[in-house]
Amino acid sequence: MVSAYNPGTDAARIRAAYAFGEEMHRGQKRRSGEPYFTHPVAVAAILTEQRLDDDTIITALLHDTVEDTRAKYSDIVTHFGPEVAEMVDGVTKLTNLQLTSSETKAAENFRKMFMAISRDIRVVLVKLADRLHNMRTIKYQSVEKQTLKSRETMDIFAPLAGRMGMQWMRDELEDLAFQVLNPEGRASILRRFVKLRNEAGDVIEKITRDMDYALKEAGINAEVYGRAKRPYSIWRKMEQKGQPFSRLADIYGFRVIANDEGDCYRALGAIHQRWAAVPGRFKDYISQPKSNGYRSIHTTVSGRDGKRVEVQIRTRQMHEVAEGGVAAHWSYRDGVRTENPFAVDPVSWITTLTETLESAENDEFLEHVKLEMYSDQVFCFTPKGEVVKLPRGGTPIDFAYGIHTRIGDRCVGAKVDGMRVPLWTRLRNGQSVSIITAEGQRPQSTWLDIAVTGRARQAIRKSLRAEDRARFVKLGRELARVAFEQVGKKMTDKALNMAASTMGIGDVNELLAKVGAAELPARDVVALIYPELAKHNAAEEVARDRAVLGLEQDQTSKRGRCCMPVPGERIVGITYRGKGVVVHAIDCPVLMELEDQPERWVDLRWHSGPHAAVYGVSLEITIANDSGVLGRICTLIGEQKANISDLTFVDRKPDFYRLLVDIDLRDVEHLHQVMTALQAESDVAEVKRVRNSEYRP
């Protein structure tokens, strides 16, 4: 088969690989009862259909030998060379990775997978062909194994095939997995297709004939192919759009293969002259190709009998890349590698991805990889006309980081097509974006909710971590100092080093950062060094019979009206001349203004015993404007043993009321009980706790 597209193939070497693999797997059986070696042969046949080089075909024939037979890596090197041995080893490593394990483990295995791919991307072509054949024969596996492998295929390998530009393989992998995961859903789609054909005849043949006639009338020599979309593709559209099959448009797809780029645009004109174009359904991937090299014009038109059909228009070379993706880079014809001008460097995406994520945490790496594999892209322009590619739903924040991390960090605003827009604006294809920057600007935590690209989110998190760490170290040092003074001791670097070492924490700054971030109470640090003093001090504090512990004998405290902390929440005190100590929740915005006054900070905590329901909290509740609803809300709060101290109508609408309700509670658990009971009420649209940073002590 290889000689059919590559007369220069080393047939003797491929025959030797066949004989070696057959010998190594002799006696092994698949679950179907067939000789095991039929599987490597089938994998090689799939890659042969892609017109791949000799080394890739040989790797396919040998890909399970090192893992499942007595063959060693050195044997592959001796008989077939180091390049094939490296690829066989890479496929073996990919096979052994558990990509659907826990989040952390999966992220680390994703990282290993991309490292293996980056050395030679042909490894992933063999692995994808291996998975495709296994899915074609999955019926012989146990039900549990079928489900596991199908889910892994749907989540990992199908999107990876799509990202590699091998759309045909992605479609088949998804459909095979869909058949296992939702056989009833797939069968229902197929039944509806049969019904549609019985009612309307062969729609595909009729539309193909109409389209072919329209192109010939316009003097365009092109081939037209029609097809019904695969069941999973239709199911996904139904799920995304929330529409039944009967209302779903464009369940048919047509391809026009033209001679050259000019004919592609002329064919587009001829089709739009003959049928009405559907607004918003036009994409020009010829002038703005996808990063995997995909080029084509996409349009949707109302065809025969008003049925919507999707049309893809491309040249023969573009079609080869669209079908083969990165495999087109190695394709052979007439004994030589095909010089397809549209086939991108297959290593570029992997290299860019691995370089970008070298310093990423595991969860960030996994998030970015999945975004890269799943996302559809939009193309926007800088003021100089340079193209920036973003996932669909990308924002000016993503655009800024797409240009450079420094631009993203300093972003304060954006203009889209000359007009100032919010940073959360979703960008669309073809828009011109100008980023406004300012010296001294730093990323905001709210940007994490705006950004969608892994690159932007990683850079934002990195900046926030650095900024938070410095703040937490400073705060932690002051809290630790006060905690040491409360037991009559002075905080020293030696004492802190001893505590860090005992707790197995890397260094003093890490220890202080944990104290400042409320991950570690300062009193626990003191207790490690002076356990008897800490125990005596704790006993004294409990003896005072106060709700808040950590105050001096003569100090008084009151809750901050800005955050209204309740028992069970992490708290800190701020001293005020003539007012004693004001107790704030650790996340109160007012504390940000007092970072440069550490001498006023006091490390506090709530008494561990039960508390009376005397702590006021404000809740904003949105309820249906209907008879009896307000009464039921008040009854619900009373049933939770909470007292309403005030109630104000904030907003009255014809269908909803918004209320501000002040209630007295015991602690944070009591608050949770009240909010849960309210949220479970069908006439309550929203419940949220209200804090007012405008209040000042």
Identify the bridge partners of residue 582 per DSSP, sorted by sequence position: 558, 574
Q: How many helices (H) and strands (E) does the chain have?
A: 29, 23
Cα dihedral 122, 126, 132, 135, rounded to 10, equals -140
| Token couple for 186 | 């797939």
Note whether 232 and 175 are within 8 A (CB): yes
Give the Cβ contact number of residue 580 at 10 Å: 17
HSE on the CB side for 57, CA within 13 Å? 26
Selection from 359, 364, 389 nearest residue 375 by Cα: 389
Note whether 332 and 52 are within 8 A (CB): yes
Selection from 547, 556, 621, 561 nearest residue 590 by Cα: 561
**Residue ranges of the alpha helices (H) in 182-276?**
183-200, 203-217, 231-241, 261-274
Identify the bridge partners of residue 379 per DSSP, sorted by sequence position: 389
- Residues known to be catalytic: 67-68
pLDDT score, position 103: 46
In the CATH scheme, what architecture does the domain 615-690 have? Answer: 2-Layer Sandwich (3.30)
CA atoms of 77 and 83, how far apart (whole Å): 8
Q: Is the dihedral of CA 199, 205, 211, 217 positive or negative?
A: negative
Q: Which residue has the tokens 């006023």?
A: 600
Note whether 398 and 453 are within 8 A (CB): yes
| Token couple for 667 | 């602690």
| Domain boundaries, given as residue ranges, for the chain | 2-181, 185-337, 615-690
Identical fold for domains 2-181 and 615-690, yes or no, is no
Note whether 222 and 265 are within 8 A (CB): no
Selection from 265, 324, 344, 343 nearest residue 299 by Cα: 265
The low-confidence residues of the chain, meaning pLDDT below 70, are: 1, 96-119, 196-201, 237-250, 291-292, 303-306, 325-377, 468, 471, 475, 482, 486, 517-519, 532-546, 652, 654, 693-697
CA atoms of 482 and 488, how far apart (whole Å): 10
Helix axes 347-356, 454-486, angle to 10 degrees: 10
Superfamily of domain 185-337: Beta Polymerase, domain 2 (3.30.460.10)
DSSP secondary structure letters along 402-461: HH-HHHHHTEEEEEETTEEE-TTPPP-TT-BEEEEE-TT----TTHHHH--SHHHHHHHH
pLDDT score, position 304: 62
pLDDT score, position 16: 94
CATH number, span 2-181: 1.10.3210.10
pLDDT score, position 239: 64
Cα distances (Å, whole numbers) of residue 155 to 149, 322, 374, 532, 682:
10, 22, 9, 56, 35
pLDDT score, position 386: 77
Note whether 20 and 65 are within 8 A (CB): yes
